[in-house]
Amino acid sequence: MAPGNLARDQIVAALREAGCVFAEDEAELILAAAGSVDKIASMLRQRVAGVPLEVIVGWAEFCGLRLTVEPGVFVPRRRTEVVAREAVARARPGAVVVDLCCGTGAVAAAIHAAVDGLELYAVDIEPAAVRCARRNLEQLGGIVLEGDLFAPLPEGLIGRVDLLVVNAPYVPTDAIALMPPEAREHEPRVTLDGGADGVDVQRRVAAEARRWLAPGGQLLVETSRDQSVRTCEAFAAGGFTAQVRRAEDIDGTVVIGAAMVASTGRATVGSD
């Protein structure tokens, strides 16, 4: 196989046969990323075997940025751009931003690209994700830490975080079997599994988030349309207001809240 029209047609045909819906676009990306004929063949073999294209070519686009993606790391999804958009709309220059469950660090990188002078932290429990996020974020001045949710954050951040952005795993355990093989077989379970109803990790986040937030600080958690009610309940249980924001263009859903004022003792749960 050699680069050129014939090779391109062969690649497209093989990708189509393997069920790739955007076979033409994928073929272009493989041809652009592969430096040799052997590399093209190897990339094509991986793709036909179901490895995510982003892992094969080594990058994913997110909010117009090109982010490094490594094997074993969750591939940033387009729908998550709603979290970045809403965070950017709320971030002032110099804000303290924490991206919990950061994966590649896509959300943090997108906020950094739009807002000046951020103090940026990111956390993930998976060593592969931490390595990958360091490649994406350290060049931006971000600090990437490995561990369970808030555990690795420096104590000096308590009460100082302006925006806590979170895309924790939220697939209900039983639904993982129904996911496309690309996700089910190539993204570690810890990146997907949100427990019986999908909200276990979100509940833990909401239960501990208050003490980390600065006065007026906000919590933004990605969820699905169907699970947003449960995510709002987790916010309320953690002492947060909760508002659902949807981005229909990318089918993205995020719940946003701030600490409830003690005197009201009630959550505002709503959507728009």
Half-sphere exposure in the Cβ direction for 124 (13 Å, CA): 27
In the range 140-169, which residues lie near ligand SAM by CB under 6 A? Answer: 148-149, 167-169
Q: How many CB atoms lie within 10 A of CB 152?
A: 16
Tell me how crowded residue 202 is: count the other CB atoms within 10 A of its CB.
Answer: 29
Nearer to ligand SAM, 169 or 239 (CB): 169
Handedness of CA 61, 63, 67, 72 (dihedral sign): negative
Q: Comparing C-alpha atoms, which of 130, 213, 203 is closest to residue 168?
A: 203
- Cβ proximity to ligand SAM: between 50 and 195 the closer is 195
Q: Is 101 exposed, middle or buried (0-12, 13-18, 19+ CB in 10 A)?
A: buried
The values of phi and psi at residue 269, to 5°, are -115, 120
Question: What is the nearest approach in angstroms of ligand SAM to the Cβ of residue 222?
Answer: 7
Q: Minimum distance from CB of 84 to ligand SAM (Å)?
A: 9
Question: Which CB atom, from 6 or from 207, has the smaller least distance to ligand SAM?
Answer: 207
Indicate whether 68 belongs to the interface with ligand SAM (CB under 6 A). Answer: no
| Stretch binding ligand SAM (CB under 6 A), from 74-82, 155-163, 212-220, 241-249 | 74-82
Tokens read off for 223 = 């969820």
Distance in angstroms (rounded) separating the CA atoms of residues 51 and 127 = 20
Q: Using CB under 6 A, which residues numbered 181 to 210 contact ligand SAM?
A: 190-191, 201
CB 215, min distance to ligand SAM, A: 25
Nearest to 30 by CA among 42, 18, 19, 21: 42
Looking at 31-39, 42-50, 99-107, 176-184, which segment touches ligand SAM (CB under 6 A)?
A: 99-107
The kind and range of the H/E element at 98 are: strand 96-100
Backbone angles phi, psi at 143, to 5 degrees: -110, 125
Name the one range near ligand SAM by CB under 6 A: 7-15, 72-80, 177-185, 256-264: 72-80
Residue count, binding to ligand SAM (CB under 6 A): 22
Q: Does 221 bind ligand SAM (CB under 6 A)?
A: no
Q: At closest approach, how far in Å is the CB of 141 from ligand SAM? A: 19
Beta carbons within 10 angstroms of residue 6's beta carbon: 10
Taking CB under 6 A as the rule, does residue 234 contact ligand SAM?
Answer: no
Q: How far is the CB of 266 from ligand SAM (least distance, A)?
A: 29
Candidates 98, 129, 144, 255; binder of ligand SAM (CB under 6 A) is 129
Closest CA to 14 of 34, 35, 33, 42: 42
Which chain residues interact with ligand SAM by CB under 6 A?
74, 76, 80, 101-104, 106-107, 123-126, 129, 148-149, 167-169, 190-191, 201
